[in-house]
Chain A
């Protein structure tokens, strides 16, 4: 069998998901999404360097419903990856490696990311004068 045809692990059709594996996969997915978000951030900076007209266009796209939706998803991805990254750094230092701690810190990361996302958006709307 050529290397490309070999089955991959885990076998997703029969795999039972748990919090630990879902959060691990989410860490990777959010990381990939954040690279795309960083590319868009660079586009925003290019628009700002180009001048007021280009910047206004960029701001209009960011402020449209799809722009706000993407920014919301990127904010969650950023806060999740940040919080779970701190969890990973703890593991690297040998902290919280037992199963109860892994589940506890996993739920803390999910809740913290949700609170930070909603909190930052609430603050952003307040600065916008919409609240």
Chain B
């Protein structure tokens, strides 16, 4: 069959979705980043099982934990937002509902990350006297 697309359309390589492989690729990149981060996180949680507030905050306060926790949560919520988007696109076919749900899911992921960032920053920069 002859290609009926214009030269511009062909060189862009985009179909009816109007976008390329960026979503797919970012899902893989965040997945790859999450492998070592999750291993580190699970070990960190396990060794702090039942630990009190002082012990947990002193762990979270260390620069390495602070940085890795931010990377973990950023990668996790980014990966989660992309995943939620795929699920919504698979099952919600009314255009306005689909758009609203995707915006809601992505907004929730961004909001949760910001809440985690503020909490971790408070823990990291507050003195140990802060209760």
Contact = CB atoms under 8 A, between A and B. Distances in A.
A38 B83 CA distance: 14
Main secondary structure of the interface of B (DSSP, over half): helix
A48 interface: yes
A125 B49 CA distance: 8
B123 to A, nearest CB: 5
A89 B53 contact: no
Interface string B85-112: 0010001011000000000000011001
* A interface majority secondary structure: helix
Contact of A120 (B42, B84, B126): B42
B50 A48 contact: no
B118 interface: yes
A75 B46 CA distance: 11
Interface of B: 28, 31-32, 34-35, 38, 42, 45-50, 52-54, 56-57, 60, 73, 76-77, 80, 83-84, 87, 91, 93-94, 108-109, 112-113, 115-116, 118-120, 122-123, 126, 130-131
Interface of A: 3-4, 6, 8, 28, 31-32, 34-35, 38-39, 41-42, 45-46, 48-49, 51-53, 55-56, 59, 63, 75, 78, 82, 85-86, 88-89, 92, 120, 123-125, 127-129
